[in-house]
Every structure is written in C-alpha cells, then in structure tokens.
Amino acid sequence: MNFFEAQDAARRRTWRLVVLFLAAVLTLVLLTNLLVAVAGFFFLTPSVALAEPQGSLRYVLESTPPSRWAFISLGVIGVVTCASLYKYATLRGGGRAVAESFNGRLLTREQADLKQQRLLNVVEEMAIASGTPVPPVYLLPEAGINAFAAGFNVDDAVIGVNQGTIDTLNRDELQGVIAHEFSHILNGDMRLNVRILAILHGILFLGLVGRVLLRHGGRSSGTNSRNAGLPVLVMGIGLLAIGYGGTFFGNLVKAAVGRQREYLADASAVQFTRNPQGIAGALKKIGGYLSGSDTSNDNAQEASHFFFAPVAARFARFLFATHPPLPERIRAIDPGWDGTYPEVLPLAAPAAAQDMADPLLAGMVAGTTPADVATRIVERVGNPDEETLTRARHFVDLANTSLTRAAHDGYSAVALMYALLLSAEPTVREHQLATLSSHAPRGTREEVLRLADLVALVNPVQKPVYLDRAIPALKTLSGPQYQNFRQLVGELVNADASVDLFEWVLSLSLMKYLTPHYIKPPSGRVKFRSLELLANDLVLLLVSLAAACSRATAQCDELVHAGLTAAGLPTPRTLPPAPDFDAVNLIVVRLRSLHPLQKPRVLKAAVTVLIDDTQLSDLDAGLLHAMAGVLDCPLPPLPGTDHA
C-alpha cells in the first residue's frame, strides 16, 4: 500500500460522495415537489381534479405557481442540509464521540483485566509499529465479535472492540482484527465514514418527518378530523417513501464503497502481521459463533460501515451489505479453507507470559546513496510490516518499566512529557524547573526530576515513542488541566532563545495529537496542491534541520542544497538564517496542508539533510520520526541501538 496514494484516493472518494449527495438531494427535491403538488391538487381542489381526469397531472404541473416550487425546493434542501450538518456536528468530537454513541467505555490500564490488558498491548504495539500515536481503546458491551476505528485522522482516532472479541479471539486473531482497523486509520477511511453517516442521516430525515406526520394523522378522530387528517396521512406516507427511497440508494453507495475497502483492509492486515491465519481465524470464528458479529446498539446499526464485520443480518444483503460475504473474505486470505466454521467457546484469561514478544528482527535503514536511503524511508510511511511490528513488541518488552507506567498514568504522563522537554544546559534547565515549581501542581517538579534521570538513559530514537504511548493517558486530563499543561509546555520550550528543533518537534507533536481531543479536529482540507507554492517554507525548514545537527555552516549550506535537489526545487543563491520557534510552527502548519502526493518530496528533502553519508544517527532518526508525524505522515520508528 502506498500511503500517499491511499490518502489521495480517500479525498477523491469524498468528492464523489459529495456529487452523489447532491444528486440524491436533487431527486428528493423533485419527488417532494411532485408529492406536495399532487396532494394539494387532489385534496384542496378535488372538483377540478374530477372535472379533468385525463389531464389532471398536467393541470397540476401547469397550475402550480413557480413560487410554490421554489418554496418546496428550498424547504427540502434546507431540511436535508440542516439534518446532515446537525449529525456532523454531533460527531465533531471525533472518534471519542462515535465510540460513546455506541455505549463504548474507555479502557484504562488501572481498571483493565488480563484480557483487556492484552487488547491494550496489541493496540499499543500496532500504533508504535505504524508510527502513529496510540489511540484510546473503547470496549462495547456486545457479545458479537466485532471492532471499529473512528475519527477524522490519526490524531483523534479511537479503536472500539466488542466484549465478545476479547472473550473469544486468541492473541494472533485479535492482532489481525486490530491490524485491519489500523489499515482504515492509515488509508484515510475514517473521515469518509463520518461523512457518509452524516449524509445518510440527512437523506433519511425526510422519512423521519413522514413518520411524525403519520403519527399525527393517525391520532385524528371524527369525520371532519379524518377528512382534515387525510392529506396529512398522504403526505406522511409520501415523505416516508421518499425518505427511505433516498436511503435505499444511499445504502447502495455505502455498500459499494465499503466492500472494496474491507478487501483492502484485510490484505493490509496480512501484510502488516505476515500472519494470514490471524485475521482468517477471526473471520472463521465469526461464522461459527452463536452471536456472530452482531451489535445491537441502534447507532451502531446506522454506522455499520465503521465495523470490522456486519453488525446484523439485513434484508437483501447482496445489495446493502457494507462488507463482502464472509466466505469470500476468508478464501481471499486462506484459499485452502474447506468451508467449515469452528466451534467457538470463550477463552480462558491469558497468562502474563502469553504476551511476550518474539525476538527482534535485524534490519537497519541503509542504502548505497543518500537518495536511496531517502526513498526507502519514504516508502515506510504508512506501511508497517512484520519487521516494524516485531520491533514494536521488542520495545514494549524492554522499555523501562517506570517510564512505561508513567506513560500509562495521567498525572505521571504529564511529568514524563515535561521530563522529555528538559534542556541539557544547566542554566536553562534550572529556569524550566523553576517554572514548574511556580505553575505546576505540587509534587510535579520532583516527579519530573525522577523521570528525567530515566529519560537520560533512553536512546534518542525511542523518545518520540514514549510520547506516542502517553497520548491515551494525556487525553484523560480535564479541560483546565490540559490548558495548564499546554501553557507549561510552551514555557518549557521557549525557556532558551536558541532553536532546539528536537525539543520543539516533540512539543508540537503533543499539541497536534491533543488539540483534536480538547478543541476540535482539523479540517484536513488541502490548501496547497504544489510544493513549489511553499518552496520558501521548505528552505527555512531545511535550514532549521541542518542547524539542529550542529554542523559547520558550509556543510549546512551543502546539505540544504542537497535537500532541495531531492525535492526537485531550485536552490537559492543565499540561504536565510534559521528562524525562531513561531516561524517554524507556521511553516509546518502550511506544509501539513499540502496535497498528500506532494509530501514525499518534503520527507525526502528532510532525510537528505539529516543523514550522515548513508546512515541516520539515533538523534536524527528520532527527530525524523517526530517530524514525519507532525506532517501527517506516520513513519514507523527507525532502528536504533536496542536499549531502553
């Protein structure tokens, strides 16, 4: 899978969805106009209708004033649009809002049992291997084997899992399901899923109006009331038919889009884990399990296209199914399957030893030329594989236990982030600690110093991974706690006048991953379709990267020129000085809004500046991992010295 092409395809599918939505609304406008005109003609002017039985429809169309057509059309458009926007607004909380609408409960390490701990471990390993922040995990009180990923992008994504999934699947099968959901996260499917849900709600809303009218008309009594209520009943039946007719075609679109994406996600899960029997085993258990993949929540029924497997049996499944038939999915992964489903019984609670990782696979990023190294690294973006997954397991197993516990606890995770931002320069460090003493809760300074001693032993390439692991715990902060945390992070970063790019990128990553949770998800809109429009911004970014490498001025100039050449841009005669934090911040915000197919050029330029001959230092590898995440290009952690 090419990450950048998948992101571009997701955007193109969004535009097609908008066109289909407009076509559906236009159809609803025409049908509603006809319904109101016919109903008004027969019930308000029955004598005319009886007098001209042969030309009644023509009479309706010719006698209805244009102002009435315009009023009805604007009314339908307004109702459908407002209903869609309302639904979209209710989902602006991102993945968390979707999970909570399914009655999902946030899983925390402190409250998790052994099965839930295994689930959290698998999700964390997958996130580390794919180079994304660890998403919060929600548990749904459902017996069926199912799961979903929801959100607008990787920053606000969540993973939801049914209770039946962790009760019946072993670790390999669970890993296959979670890898499938991470494929949806990386492919950009989640935002499209939310938009489909909002659009279908708008189209369905006319049917809901019709249902209300039917209830109102059905309560009428007496001859006069019945006569007066008859037009209301007819309008109700008509709107119900129109609304559900629109939903009919909307579901066809949803099904067609969903089936192809499920095949792709299954294939990506196999590529990710290199274990086809994992996801195939999960699918076979769905077929043999009494509860199947059923999910009873009404909101889940409406959002069936979010899930790993169908949430319920449907009429005319061959038309409306958002997932391919189960046997076809299984045979696509396991061609030798004999067609029988296993008997499924609840699993015993796993022992701690069952969650040990496999030995680390060797594999350094290397090549014959810097350009070769840059190409290989860019190919890794959004493309986790067995090697990166094994390295992630290895990291989780060998990571410092105290730092791991800190990353999983809300209070200590805050202190850990402060510790990662502490400067090595004594004067600056003392100023930072004084700031914490004045503005952070009591005891924070001492906890930061304790964790800073442990952070000093961590390989630089692994520091951003601790940030990724701490994201779920940081998302449990209250609003005021987050605001205080955000302010202190800014003060720690700006404690010195020089640009420590690694420290700055870590802080920017924090704000990028937390802002969608506490404020609102970014629009994700492409503002610049060509890198040439941001050539000056890229020059400044490369100058900052070169300066952060502490190399001689002449060498920095040479590296920047090489980076611009790798990006296919001309090199200026003179290079500007390294900008300050605020300027670099604005630069990155603009580069994030580049078209997905332009971002590989930015990464190639950054790699070219950072590599020394054909190798990346641990510090530069960690910097590149964090920088790629800031640019919305999830890069699996690059190999470094294996100590934690």
H-only helix segments in 365-400: 370-380, 386-398
pLDDT at 64: 67
pLDDT at 161: 97
* pLDDT band of 360, cuts 50, 70, 90: very low
- Phi-psi category of 274—alpha, beta or left, where left has phi over 0 and alpha has psi -120 to 50? left
Report how many helices (DSSP H) and strands (DSSP E) the chain contains, helices first: 28, 4
pLDDT at 87: 87
HEC states along 496-547? Answer: CCCCCHHHHHHHHHHHHHHHHHHCCCCCCCCCECCHHHHHHHHHHHHHHHHH
Length of the chain: 644
Mean pLDDT of 85-92: 85
**Residues spanned by CATH 3.30.2010.10 within the chain?**
96-192+262-333
Chain mean position to CA 364 = 29
* pLDDT band of 100, cuts 50, 70, 90: very high
Which residues make Cβ contacts (< 8 Å) with residue 183, sequence separation at least 6? 1, 264, 265, 268, 269, 272
| Dist. CA 644–CA 641, nearest whole Å | 9
Whether the CB-CB separation of 109 and 476 falls below 8 Å is answered with no
Which is it for strands 158-162 and 147-150: parallel, antiparallel or unpaired? Answer: antiparallel
298-302, 400-404, 463-467, 549-553, range with the lowest pLDDT: 549-553
Mean pLDDT of 563-571: 91
pTM of this structure: 0.80
Whether the CB-CB separation of 516 and 191 falls below 8 Å is answered with no
Q: Over the stretch 482-508, which tens digit does the pLDDT of each residue have?
A: 999 999 998 898 887 665 777 878 888
157-166, 216-225, 461-470, 515-524, range with the lowest pLDDT: 216-225
* 368 residue type, one letter: T
Q: Which of 289, 290, 286, 277 is nearest to 337 (CA)?
A: 277
Whether the CB-CB separation of 134 and 634 falls below 8 Å is answered with no
What single-letter DSSP state applies at residue 105?
Answer: E
Q: Over the stretch 372-431, which tens digit does the pLDDT of each residue have?
A: 778 888 888 888 877 788 878 777 776 778 899 999 998 899 999 999 999 888 899 999
| Dist. CA 256–CA 221, nearest whole Å | 46
pLDDT at 363: 38
> From the candidates 124, 125, 142, 181, which is the catalytic residue?
181
Q: Which of 643, 640, 519, 525 is nearest to 592 (CA)?
A: 525
Q: Over the stretch 238-294, which tens digit does the pLDDT of each residue have?
A: 777 777 676 676 666 667 666 778 888 888 888 888 889 999 999 999 999 988 898
For residue 425, indicate whether it is catalytic: no
| Token representation of residue 210 | 């019709």
pLDDT at 356: 38
2-16, 196-210, 292-306, range with the lowest pLDDT: 2-16
| 113-122, 508-517, 524-533: which is most confident | 113-122
pLDDT at 497: 65
Mean pLDDT of 337-354: 77
HEC states along 201-220? Answer: HHHHHHHHHHHHHHHHHHCC
Q: Supply the CATH classification number for the domain 96-192+262-333.
A: 3.30.2010.10
Q: Over the stretch 203-237, which tens digit does the pLDDT of each residue have?
A: 777 777 777 777 665 555 444 444 555 666 767 77
| Dist. CA 373–CA 50, nearest whole Å | 82
How high is the mean pLDDT of the chain?
81
Q: Which of 92, 214, 102, 238 is nearest to 163 (CA)?
A: 102
pLDDT at 478: 92
| Dist. CA 159–CA 556, nearest whole Å | 43
Question: Which residue bears the tokens 């279908």?
Answer: 200
